[in-house]
Amino acid sequence: EAGVAQSPRYKIIEKRQSVAFWCNPISGHATLYWYQQILGQGPKLLIQFQNNGVVDDSQLPKDRFSAERLKGVDSTLKIQPAKLEDSAVYLCASSLVRQETQYFGPGTRLLVL
């Protein structure tokens, strides 16, 4: 069974630029999560999708971050414009249903200069 796929793996941008991350969850997994992990901290949930609907986005900085999950499968997370403090690893995870185990992708390391 293929795992969660993410791209790109690394991205370096200047502040105020835009960036987008892509995630393909495990086949059949209804729930998809985007996390931000800053060095030395645990993952912080940004947004959770159930199929193609948003379950929770209370910690998503909506003035600059946006996310969508078209057709309930792939998802993209966008930052526009980026700030220095957005430098982090962005993790995508999926689970079969909401209360079950999450499986993480390899993450995208973002450096904002």
Partner 1 sequence: QKEVEQNSGPLSVPEGAIASLNCTYSDRGSQSFFWYRQYSGKSPELIMSIYSNGDKEDGRFTAQLNKASQYVSLLIRDSQPSDSATYLCAVLPGGYIPTFGRGTSLIVHP
93 strand-pairing partners: 33, 104
Selected binder of partner 1 within 22, 87, 96, 104 (CB under 8 A): 104
73 near partner 1, judged by CB under 8 A: no
113 near partner 1, judged by CB under 8 A: no
Selected binder of partner 1 within 80, 83, 98, 111 (CB under 8 A): 98
**Cα-only R_g, the chain:** 13
36 near partner 1, judged by CB under 8 A: no
Distance CA 93, CA 111 (A): 21
Nearest CA to 55 out of 102, 104, 4, 98 is that of 98
Asked if 55 contacts 46 with a C-beta cutoff of 8 angstroms, the reply is: no
43 near partner 1, judged by CB under 8 A: yes
Selected binder of partner 1 within 36, 48, 75, 94 (CB under 8 A): 48
1 near partner 1, judged by CB under 8 A: no
For the chain, the first-to-last Cα distance in angstroms comes to 37
* Residues at the site binding partner 1, with contacts judged by CB under 8 A: 33, 35, 40-45, 48, 55-56, 58, 91, 98-99, 101-107
